[in-house]
Every structure is written in structure tokens, then in C-alpha cells.
Chains A and B, each alone.
Chain A
Amino acid sequence: MAERRPSGINSRRPSVIPYLAGIEKPVLPSIPSQCDVLICGTGLVESILAAALAWQGSRVLHVDANPYYGDTCATLTIEQIKAWCASVNDGSSGFQGFSKAMLHIPYPHRLNSRDYGIDLSPRVLFAKSDLLSLLINSRVYRYLEFQSLSNFHTFENDTFGKMLSTKEEIFTDQSMTLASKRQLMKMMKFVLEYDLPENKEELETHMHEPFTDYVSNRFHLSSQQINELCYALGLAPKPDISTIQGLSRVRRYLVSFNIYGNFPTLYSKYGGPGEISQGFCRSAAVAGATYKLDCALKSFDPDTKTATFEDGSKVKISEKVVCSPSQAPEGSRNVPERNYEITRLITIVEKSCKEWFAEGESAALVVFPPKSLPSNNQFPVQSIIMGSGTGCCPKDQCVWYLSTIEQGERGRRDLESALKKMEESILRESEDGGFDVELTESDVAVQANGGISVINSVKLGKSFKGFVPKEKLTYLLKLMFTQYTSVAPFGVVSNAVFEKAEENDHPGNGPDLKVIYSSMPSTEISYDGVVTEARLLYSKIVGSDDDFFDVDFEDDEDYEHGPSSESAIVDDAEEFQPEMAFEL
């Protein structure tokens, strides 16, 4: 936490000035004249990269054309959202990578701008994932607050259902037959063990056949269970995934269970990637990186290795320039193709939506599998629900983030269709007196060993076909836009995306010769792929990623306990009482 001393000398000012006057436009010191790496855009990938480079010892100058952190995955207030939409639509530089932003705020006076934190690309964090490990290793987690998210709902036949995905749920469920309990458990086990040597042969035989075929042949699961596995647990963004893709996606969910508790995912409070990128930027700053917002790249001259900014200032760069496509200089020629689309619909509704959350939680996921909506959607619609407990909106309101990789008008139609279903559902469930359908005997089951249980969470599970709401849902904000990315759904950021900067014959002398571009946030609803991309960029600059965040923190607290002898952990098995042993 060194004081970075300003290069200029403090200028003298008259001694008496009115309180707080004239400070809106302070004279800022000029940017450093030299750095090793210049990074433009403070999105999550770029911020992780900045921190990794700074800790490795590079002198990093990290700038953003916007007056806030986060760039393409920022968490914005209402006022910032308005400005953002305007800039997207008028094609301002600094907003490339988005299009067709449509914003509707019916009651502007009811929104206090700063009470909201709206994510441009919301994500959930699996409890066992590379980003989570990195958050811990880098200690960035200490700047943030994390909360659990347990409920993954699947919409099917006009019904919201919740998959039985844990041993506890399967064991205590009263509606499933013993045989299907066994099959479902077998499936779960196989998911965890498919890469063991004894399963190699089976896996290789079926690896490339459709996941749905494989699961239904091998484990005789119902099509509803398969949809839940694929689109809820697996969060698959498209249909027709292969067996290996399906297995790895479901595994991601299962291995994340019971890492921190009885839930698979977490999210960062007050905002997703926007908050986490701020954390990494702070980490980079602690390691010596220099930060400047409101600072857009104008051009880079690879011959003199000089970058020029819109305000006319210049910096000499000894290594590389990395830039987010969203912040490419005007007239750029090397921005990588962004062939993939994500259509997003963000709404703020005047309802707490607590009916969707697990007890004590403030967020949930809802997925609409292909063909489950009246719009006959070809691709799933994924939806993250963030209640007021997430710190993203005031009490008794809720933010819904819907997205799909369906393109254009179809995508927008699917999202509207899903939105309508969510509206019907929440109105039904939150209506006074609970639900209008009487519970019948078959909805309620008496468990062998613990009270009455209502099958499959009836509140959510009841079909609301034909339901006529008594009230209307109030939308406080509705924002729809299209985002573009270079990362294919299910793919990884390709090295090829960065290659352009290396090529010798460039199509012309644009202002971005030899600039390395990142690839824009992927279509993925989790954080997977983010660290991989940051690592790839790191390798591109440093030559290898061996020392990517290989930091040994001197103030390591774990270390202050002093030496202790090997822990004498006693295995529970030793404690078996003789009368409870099973020996013949």
C-alpha cells in the first residue's frame, strides 16, 4: 500500500476558498510516462489479468473509457443504465459489442438511481470452480461478500419444478418409486465417476452421442428428469449437447455441493462480475498497478510503442497493449469477429419474489428448456432472480435477468414469453391465501419417518394453466439488448482470437496495430471460462502462465499459528461399536 507520489509538484492556491467549491474538476496529475502493459477496459477478464500481471511484477496501466469499473460486465445504477443505453444506441466508441438497447422505465420517480446495482452480464459462481479458488488465493474474496443460491427451478408443462438432486432429497421423497430412486442415484454417481479408469471404455463409446439419448438408455430417466439435468443442473445454453458435455456440466453442479454447505452456487452481493472485477482491480492496485477511469485509447503505434489517449496524453509501453473490443479505438481494424449473440432482458419488478428462494436466501435460478414456452423456443432461456437481500434493489422488489443465445427477433420473443410465464407464476404464488387449487390427498404424503411432506414443493409445482391473477405485476424497469462475443457457447476462448495481433501483414494501418483483444463476456451463465481467458492473455504477454498468481503473501495468517504436530485425526470407522459391526 505504497503512496504513489505524484510526479508533479503540488501547485499553490489562494488560501481562502469557499468550502467545497471548485473541486468538481480537480487538476489531476498526468499519467505515468511509461508502463509495461497497458490494459483498456476493466471487465472481469481484464481485471484478473491486471492483477495477475501486477503481482508478477509488471508495471500495469489499467484504464477504462467509462467513468466506472466493470466495462462490459459492470454493475450500474439506474442513471448509469440510462446513459449506457444512449451510448449503445448512438454507437459511441467504448460501447462496441452491444446493440439494440431498449429501455423502458414507466415510473421514473419511483426509482432512486443509487438504490440499484444492475449487472450487464450477471453470473453465478459454482462452489468448486477455478474462479473461486483464485478469489481465495488472491485474497480478493475479502473485499466482497458472498451469499448462497440453492434453488434451480425448471419450467415445464406450465409448471415450475425443482429437481431432486441430492441424496437427502431423493431418500426422503415420497413420490418416486424405489426403482427410479435407484436409477437417479446411479446416474448421479456415474457423473462423479465417469472419468475413472473402469468407466473409460463406456465413456469413449458414448462420448459423442446426444446426452439425452445416453441418459435415457442407460439410466431410464424420464424426459422431465433429463431436461432438469441438462438445463437446470447443467445450465446448458443449447439443446443437443453431447454426452461428455452433459456429464461434465452436471458434474460441475454435483461437486459443488457441500463445499461450503448444502448449496451448489454462490453470488457476490451488490452485483456480480461488476463487483468482482472491482475486487481484482483493487488487488492490482495494491500490487502497484495504476488506475485511471474516463480514459479512452485513441491509438497505438507499434513502431514507437506509444499509446495515445483521447485526452492527448501518451504513454510508452514496453510490452503489450490489451484491449476489450468494447473499448477499441475509433477506426480499429483488428477487433476479432464476434459471431455469437446473447439476447438479454433485465427487469425490475415490484415483488419480493421470496416464494422462489430457498429459506434464508435471496436469489434463485429458473430455466426454460427448449420447446417449453408458447414461443416454441429452440434454445433454453436462463434466468437469474435477485431479490432485495442481494443488495441489488430495495425491499419488496426483485431483479430478473433473462437471457438466451437465440438470435434477433426470435430471441426477444422467447424472452418476452418466458417473462410472461414468470409473471404468472409469481402472481399465483404470492397471492393472498396461497394457491387457489385445493390440495388433494395425492399431493400430500406422510413420510415413513418424519412428518407430512408436500410433493415436489406444491407451491411452485402446481401448474398455473388457466390461472387468472387478481392483480397485475408492476414493472419498474425493462431493459432489452443484444450482446456479442467471440466465445462460442460451450467453447473456450480460442487462442486464435488473440492471434491477429501477431500477424505480420495487417489489413491496414489502423489505430490498433498489434493490440491484443479480449473476447467480450461469454454466453455462459456461470463464471467458467473467465479465468481460462485471463490465463491465456497472461501467457500471451509473459510467455507462460506458470507464475499466474503465484504469489506468496507475506502476511499469511495461517502461518502465525506456529508449528503443530501432525493432527491425530481419528477415523470414525474405528469407533464402531462391536454390536453394530457387520461381520459374518
Chain B
Amino acid sequence: MSSSLGSEHRFAQFKLVLLGESAVGKSSIVQRFVKDSFSDFRESTIGAAFLTQTVDLDANTTVKFEIWDTAGQERYRSLASIYYRNAQAALVVYDITQESSLDKAKYWIKELQKQARGGIIIALVGNKTDLEQERKVSSEEAESFAKGLGLLYFEVSAKSGTGVRECFKQIALKMPIEDSLRKRRERKSRTVDLNKRPSTNEQQCAC
């Protein structure tokens, strides 16, 4: 690879969306992944449009996830189309102690197949393995379901952190990094970053 400045580091960013019923722990998983913390009674993250976190795949490759939470809009099945737009990965979360939550996860998978773009990497994630004694959904059942649809499958505990990083790392490995780098190089469309005004001293105008 020959970037003009001689860097050989590969860096790519992907949008990842969270789906699943309320209270299965979607936000907690992200919280664990992004801030490595957990709180039983979490306040909302003020103003966060979305959270970001990077995964280093190897010494020369970094993947950054832009993680979109549902912000509660999943509750009445009222997620907007911008939510799915250009998502390259999705975490569909259920609660291993709530049988119905896997059924509902299935709804979101179907919704993703309908709304998201083709090629999206979907991971089915069972949360709350710290409550093993209350487990209602067997790993076998969920895994065979995921396999049947060609999804990734993980079990994690947002509370203890078990499996969370690994889950994101596996997803990162599936991301089309070369594709994204190529697109960025070829990118000619005049997308404007509203937050980046030219930093001139004076306001220039047309004349």
C-alpha cells in the first residue's frame, strides 16, 4: 500500500446498529465495549449521537465502529430508515433468561433483511450469561437458529464483560476493510462535513 505519506496503517470505519427488545441489555453491551464499565441503573448518555470504539485487528489494522443505539425507538417498532441506512454490521441482542426475547430478536433480523443493505454482517448475541442459573434459552437452540440464517453467534455478559470484546473483534474481522479503503480513495462525491469549516481568519464571501 502506498499512501502519499508513506503510512502503511490501515484504518476503516463502519456503522454498527443495535437491535433487540427493550431491556435485553443492548446499551449495556455497548457501554461495556466502549467504556469498559457497567451500571445496573444507567442514565442516558447525554447528547451522544452515537458512540465510537476502535478494535485493533493487528499492528497495522484498526477498525472503528460507529455504534448506533435504538434510543428507545424500537419500542413501538418505530425505527427510522436513517437508522438502517449504510449500516454494515448489526448486533441483534436477546436475553438468555427471557425466552420471548429470542422470538423478538427474530423479528429484528427479518426487519434488517428488509431494510438494511445487502451484505450487512448480523450477529445474534445472547446477553446476561452471568445469570446462567436463570437461563431459559439454550445455546444450542440460538446457535442453530443463527447458523441456519448465516449469522454470527455469541453469548456475552455485559455485567462481567465476558465475551464482549471478542464479539466485536469477530465482527471487525468480517468487515470489508479493503473495500472501504478503496472507496475512500476513489471517493469523488462532494460530501460536505458540516463540522469542518475552512479555518480561515476572515470570513470570505463571494466578493
Query: In their complex, do chains A and B touch, with some C-beta pair under 8 Å?
Result: yes
Residues of A within 8 A of B (CB): 1-6, 10-13, 15, 17, 19-20, 23, 26, 28-29, 31, 68-69, 132, 135-136, 139-148, 165-167, 170, 185, 188-189, 192, 254-255, 257-261, 263, 266, 269-270, 275, 278-279, 281-283, 285-288, 290-293, 295, 360-362, 389, 551, 553-556, 569, 571
Residues of B within 8 A of A (CB): 21-23, 25-27, 30, 42-50, 69, 71-73, 75-78, 80-83, 85, 98-101, 103-104, 106-107, 109-110, 145, 148-149, 188-198, 201, 204-207
Task: Give Cα distance in the complex from A68 to B95, angstroms.
Answer: 29
Q: Do B47 and A555 touch across chains, with their CB atoms under 8 A apart?
A: yes
Residue pairs across A and B with Cβ atoms less than 8 A apart, 24 shown, are A1-B45, A1-B48, A1-B69, A2-B27, A6-B75, A12-B99, A17-B103, A19-B106, A19-B145, A19-B148, A23-B106, A26-B107, A29-B75, A135-B194, A146-B193, A148-B192, A167-B207, A185-B207, A258-B204, A260-B196, A278-B80, A278-B82, A281-B80, A292-B76
Q: Do A11 and B100 touch across chains, with their CB atoms under 8 A apart?
A: yes
User: DSSP majority for the B interface?
Assistant: loop
Extra contacts, 9 of them, besides A13-B103, A23-B103, A389-B189 (Cβ < 8 A), are: A23-B107, A141-B194, A148-B190, A254-B205, A255-B205, A282-B73, A282-B80, A291-B72, A293-B76
Closest 7 pairs (CB-CB, A-B): A553-B47, A285-B71, A2-B44, A278-B80, A257-B206, A23-B107, A292-B76
Least CB separation from B145: chain A residue:
A19
Q: How near does chain B come to A495, taking the closest CB pair, in angstroms?
A: 31
- By a CB distance below 8 angstroms, the chain B residues around A10 are 21, 98, 100-101
Q: Do A554 and B47 touch across chains, with their CB atoms under 8 A apart?
A: yes
Q: Do B100 and A13 touch across chains, with their CB atoms under 8 A apart?
A: yes
Q: Do B192 and A147 touch across chains, with their CB atoms under 8 A apart?
A: yes
Q: Do B47 and A188 touch across chains, with their CB atoms under 8 A apart?
A: no
Q: Which of A10, A278, A554 has the most chain B CB atoms closer than 10 A to its own CB? A: A10
Task: Give Cα distance in the complex from A23 to B25, angstroms.
Answer: 21
Least CB separation from B48: chain A residue:
A555
Q: How near does chain B come to A63, taking the closest CB pair, in angstroms?
A: 9
Task: Give Cα distance in the complex from A360 to B101, angstroms.
Answer: 47
Q: Do B190 and A286 touch across chains, with their CB atoms under 8 A apart?
A: no
Q: Do A270 and B22 touch across chains, with their CB atoms under 8 A apart?
A: no
Q: Do B191 and A285 touch across chains, with their CB atoms under 8 A apart?
A: no
Task: Give Cα distance in the complex from A554 to B193, angstroms.
Answer: 22
Least CB separation from A186: chain B residue:
B207
- By a CB distance below 8 angstroms, the chain B residues around A145 are 191
Task: Give Cα distance in the complex from A4 to B195, angstroms.
Answer: 31
Least CB separation from B109: chain A residue:
A20
Task: Give Cα distance in the complex from A282 to B85, angstroms.
Answer: 13
Q: Do B188 and A360 touch across chains, with their CB atoms under 8 A apart?
A: yes
Task: Give Cα distance in the complex from A145 to B189, angstroms.
Answer: 11
- By a CB distance below 8 angstroms, the chain B residues around A12 are 99-100
Contact of A188 among B42, B75, B206 (CB under 8 A): B206
- By a CB distance below 8 angstroms, the chain A residues around B44 are 1-2, 286-288
User: Known: A12-B99, A192-B207, A288-B44. Is A31-B76 also a contact (CB below 8 A)?
Assistant: yes
Q: Do A189 and B78 touch across chains, with their CB atoms under 8 A apart?
A: no
Task: Give Cα distance in the complex from A259 to B99, angstroms.
Answer: 54
Contact of A146 among B46, B109, B191, B206 (CB under 8 A): B191
Least CB separation from B42: chain A residue:
A2
- By a CB distance below 8 angstroms, the chain B residues around A569 are 201
- By a CB distance below 8 angstroms, the chain B residues around A148 are 190, 192
Task: Give Cα distance in the complex from A569 to B200, angstroms.
Answer: 10
Task: Give Cα distance in the complex from A577 to B146, angstroms.
Answer: 71
Least CB separation from A253: chain B residue:
B206
Q: Do A166 and B207 touch across chains, with their CB atoms under 8 A apart?
A: yes
